[in-house]
Amino acid sequence: MTAPIPTPVPGESSVPTPSPVTTAPTTSPAIVTPTPDNGGNADVFVSGAVIAAIVGAVINVALAQYKDRSEERARLRKTFAEAFEVAMQYKEFPYAIRRRRADQPEAERVRLSEEMRAVQAKLSYFVVWTEGESKAVGAAYSALVAQLRQVAGTACNEAWKEPAVQDDAGMNLSSTVINLSSLKPFEKAYVTAVRDHFKPFYRR
């Protein structure tokens, strides 16, 4: 027996309505926050390098200045000492003249005169040099040289008038023969002026 065909109800569609499709929920992509690179650390590194370079440059400059001051002190000490040495060389001439060789009077006169001339020239040079380096040291040295030429120079003139030493005993020249003790205060004044000149160097 044939099944009856259902009669469509007016107003209804004969096309079956499809069942709703359930869609699985999709996950939204995660929002990734970009992390900062090492730019901040690089800035710190660069700043540190710059500071280190500046500090290094300052140290190098300080060391160079210290070296320059040390070299300057050494140069001055050496030249001031040479100036004093020349003064002491002139101071010895009265003794050298009295102790000249008796058997070669002419040769000795030439020899000693040439040596005195050379020392006199050095004295004149150091008078100018010390005055150029320091007024106080220059004044002390000029006073020493002036007194030296007066006292030692006079003793030299007297020594030429005396006969040359003939024996070993005559080599011992006492202060009654040649007295240069009046030079001591001027020598001391020069040494003191030189010492005072170097004090500022050690406070820098």
In a domain, 33, yes or no: no
In a domain, 37, yes or no: no
Domain that holds residue 95: 71-203
In a domain, 77, yes or no: yes
CA gap 184, 186 in Å, rounded:
5
Residue 55 has what pLDDT? 63
Asked if 142 and 124 count as a contact pair (C-beta separation under 8 A), the reply is no
Residue 71 has what pLDDT? 85
Residue 66 has what pLDDT? 47
| Residues present in the chain in total | 204
In a domain, 150, yes or no: yes
Residues 176-195: b if buried by 16+ CB within 10 A, e if exposed: eebebeebeebbebbeebbe
In a domain, 44, yes or no: no
In a domain, 94, yes or no: yes
Note the pLDDT tens digit of each residue in 50-72.
665 566 656 665 545 545 677 88
CA gap 113, 5 in Å, rounded:
164
Residues 52-87: b if buried by 16+ CB within 10 A, e if exposed: eeeeeeeeeeeeeeeeeeeeeeeebeeebeebbebb
List, for the chain, all residue ranges whose pLDDT scores fall below the cut of 50: 13-15, 30, 32, 63, 66
Asked if 201 and 69 count as a contact pair (C-beta separation under 8 A), the reply is yes
Residue 166 has what pLDDT? 82
In a domain, 196, yes or no: yes
The count of domains in the chain is: 1
Query: What is the pTM for the complete model shown?
Result: 0.66
